[in-house]
Amino acid sequence: MKEYWLRLARDRDTNDPHPGLRDRFHLPPGPDGKPAAYLCGHSLGLCPRSARTLVAEEFAAWATLGVEAHTRARRPWVSYHEQVTPYLARLAGASDHEIVAMNSLTTNLHLMMVSFYRPTPERNVILIEKGAFPSDRHAVVSQLEYHGYSAEEALVELAPRAGEATLRAADIEAAIARDGERIALVLWPGVQYLTGQAFDLRRIARAAHAAGAMAGFDLAHAIGNVPLLLHDDDIDFAVWCSYKYLNGGAGAPGGVFVHEKHGLDFSGPRFTGWWGHDKRMRFMMGPEFRPIPGAEGWQLSNPPVFALAPLLASLRLFDEASLNRLRARSLELTGFLADALTVQLGDAVKIITPSDDSARGAQLSLRIQGDRERARFVFASLASQGILADWREPNIIRVAPAPLYNNFEDCARLVAALHRYENRHDGD
Ligand SMILES: Cc1ncc(COP(=O)(O)O)c(C=O)c1O
């Protein structure tokens, strides 16, 4: 059976009309020295081969120009972050002035909440999902406390229904409506990090706005993975990191979207720094602060050129591959993987990610049946077979075929490796 799926996968790879850009990435080797089946793009994307060249160009600019690289480098350092803006805007469904690359996700989330969580005695609740990424919850609770509220008073967390792993859209709307008068901010993921569930951003934003609340999103697992239309969906703000599907490298600068209705309104509070100040006046070194119109007005510091260069290398590949084609390929790869898992492993592995294309991106989250120890054993067997996946407590293995560099054979190899283990374990 597994031979059949491997043959089928190779056949699909050979005849793939849109094969992605696999040979433009470094593929980490498995234990046998051959490329591993790298299914961890939801955690850390792979290194584009061109990243080294782009970083080397900035080293050369530093070596030959010193401080003058700020203005005279081929890509001047004072505005280096602008290099990535149009690419990110295309991925986010936004205008350039609604986007900026800066800081890290959690830092940006704080900056956004400073501006867009504006509690009053009557309306001070932040609504999040019960399984929110811990850093988001920490940030939210600390913002509540900063404003003098406790989590008990002002944090509402929505859990899936008993016995269900994912949330129903209608339940999210009902939760927003139920506490509507008290909610100041709805903070939601684009794609849930543990379950891989993709949400309908427009629907959530509409419900939040109908209740009189702001709608902000953590797009760590969504950007570069699922189509986004942040401007048209009327999202107030969004933040993301760039080391997952965007392949920017560990700790790469994150990104921010601020809807132009806010970006062009300078009345609200914000934390400021000199890089958010009017570009033409920045080096006048005066005391006044006049924000750059748009998302750039939330910048604090000058851009980390060496950290942005790998991101630029990767974003160019997104354009080259074309976003629509990548999404079509992603659906094919993830659909193939889901089918192969279901047919070959049946009940031994439960896919908790929704099966509907519109409710998932590349990632599938697999709940390994049996106790935790057994699940850990299954997971450990994958690395020794040249499969790179990741583990989330208590029994979840996350895998994501990234359409830029994964192929059908990577998917078939994962299923064969799980199958091999299941047989061996059953026979022990
Ligand atoms: C969903 C989600 N939110 C927030 C973060 C935190 O990101 P950072 O360390 O860049 O602040 C992560 C990191 O993996 C994440 O997956």
Q: Which atom of ligand 1 is nearest to the CA of 241?
A: 10
User: What is the C-alpha to C-alpha distance for residues 98 and 262, in angstroms, rounded to an integer?
Assistant: 9
Closest protein CA for atom 12 of ligand 1: 220
Distance 201 CA to ligand 1 centre (A): 19
Closest protein CA for atom 15 of ligand 1: 220
Contacts of 417 (CB under 8 A, 6+ apart): 37, 381, 382, 385, 386, 387
Domains of the chain from N-terminus onward: 2-46+322-427 (3.90.1150.10), 54-318 (3.40.640.10)
Q: Which atom of ligand 1 is nearest to the CA of 221?
A: 1
β-strands 125-129, 349-351: how paired? unpaired
Give the residues surrounding ligand 1 with Cβ less than 6 Å away: 104-106, 133, 135-136, 189, 193, 218, 220-221, 241, 254
The one-digit pLDDT tens for each residue of the chain (428 residues) are: 668 999 999 999 999 988 899 999 999 999 999 999 999 999 999 999 999 999 999 999 999 999 999 999 999 999 999 999 999 999 999 999 999 999 999 999 999 999 999 999 999 999 999 999 999 999 999 999 999 999 999 999 999 999 999 999 999 999 999 999 999 999 999 999 999 999 999 999 999 999 999 999 999 999 999 999 999 999 999 999 999 999 999 999 999 999 999 999 999 999 999 999 999 989 889 899 999 999 999 999 999 999 999 999 999 999 999 989 999 999 999 999 999 999 999 889 999 999 999 999 999 999 998 889 988 999 999 999 999 999 999 999 999 999 999 999 999 999 999 988 765 444 33
Which CA distances in Å does 95 have to 160, 209, 255, 297?
A: 34, 21, 14, 15
Q: What is the secondary structure of 7-59 as a DSSP string?
A: HHHHHHHHT-SS-TTGGGBPPPB-TTSSBPEE-BTTTSPPPBTTHHHHHHHHH
Model-level pTM greater than 0.85? yes
Let me know: does 277 contact 290? Beta carbons within 8 Å.
Answer: yes
| Strands (DSSP E) found in 289-407 | 349-351, 364-368, 387-388, 390-392, 396-399
Contacts of 52 (CB under 8 A, 6+ apart): none
Distance 192 CA to ligand 1 centre (A): 11
Q: Which atom of ligand 1 is nearest to the CA of 244?
A: 14
Q: Which atom of ligand 1 is nearest to the CA of 189?
A: 1
Distance 278 CA to ligand 1 centre (A): 30
Which residues, listed in sequence order, are joined to residue 237 by a DSSP beta bridge?
216, 258
| Tokens describing residue 308 | 């942005």
